[in-house]
Amino acid sequence: MKLITAIIKPFKLEEVKDALSGIGIEGMTVTEVKGFGRQKGHTEIYRGSEYTVDFLPKVKLEVAVADAIVAKAIDTIVAAAKTGKIGDGKIFVSPLEEVIRIRTDERGDTAI
């Protein structure tokens, strides 16, 4: 099992969610976050005052998946979230030791 954490552009969330649903992924967690990578921030000017905004709004998507579909899930996210411009985000994949469904106490793949 893997935990896929994707940082994407906020306006791409709906497309990514629909694409993941399309390949049978049934759950995900979404958080509104701020951050920067190579895109860096931007400058805002209010009358004479100039402010550099380093952290840009992004969406963090977390999906737990069985090993069998990790590659497919990653491809799906990349395809749906890509605009080709700087600031499209990143995907982090990490091993997942255990998943437990609280209601039934199921463990492992069946709990995803």
Partner 1 sequence: MLSKLLSLRSVLLALGVAATSWCAFGADAPATPSSEERIAALEAYVNNTDPGKALTGVAGPGHNAWMMTSAALVLFMTLPGLALFYGGLVRSKNVLSVLAQCLGIAGLVTILWWAFGYSFVFGKSFSEGGSILGQFLGGTEFLFMKGVGSAPNTDYAYWISHNVFSMYQMMFAIITPALIVGAIAERMKYSAILVFVAIWMVVVYFPLAHMVWGVTGSMNGVWNGDASIRAIDFAGGTVVHMSSGWSALVLCLILGPRIGFLKEKMAPHSMVLCMVGTGILWVGWYGFNAGSALAADGIAANAFTTTTIAAAVAAFVWPMLEWITRGHPSILGFCSGAVGGLVVITPAAGFTDVSGAVIIGLLAGSVPYFACTKLKGWLKYDDALDTFGVHAVGGTMGALVTGFLATTDANANLTGSYATKNGLAALVTDGGLWLEQLKAMGITIAMSVIATIVIAYAIKATIGLRAAPDVERQGLDLSEHGEEGYIY
By CB under 8 A, tell whether 55 contacts partner 1.
Answer: no
Site for partner 1 contains 33 (CB under 8 A): no
Question: What SS3 state is found at 64?
Answer: strand
Which window, 14-22, 28-36, 47-55, 61-69, contacts partner 1 (CB under 8 A)?
A: 47-55
Sole window of 32-40, 43-51, 75-83, 90-98 interacting with partner 1 (rule: CB under 8 A): 43-51
Q: State the Cα angle at 55 between 50 and 56, rounded to 5°.
A: 100
Cα(22)–Cα(31) distance, rounded to whole angstroms? 21
Instruction: Write out the DSSP string of 66-80.
Output: -GGGHHHHHHHHHHH
Q: Which stretch binds partner 1 (CB under 8 A): 26-34, 40-48, 69-77, 102-110?
A: 40-48
Nearer to partner 1, 33 or 100 (CB): 33
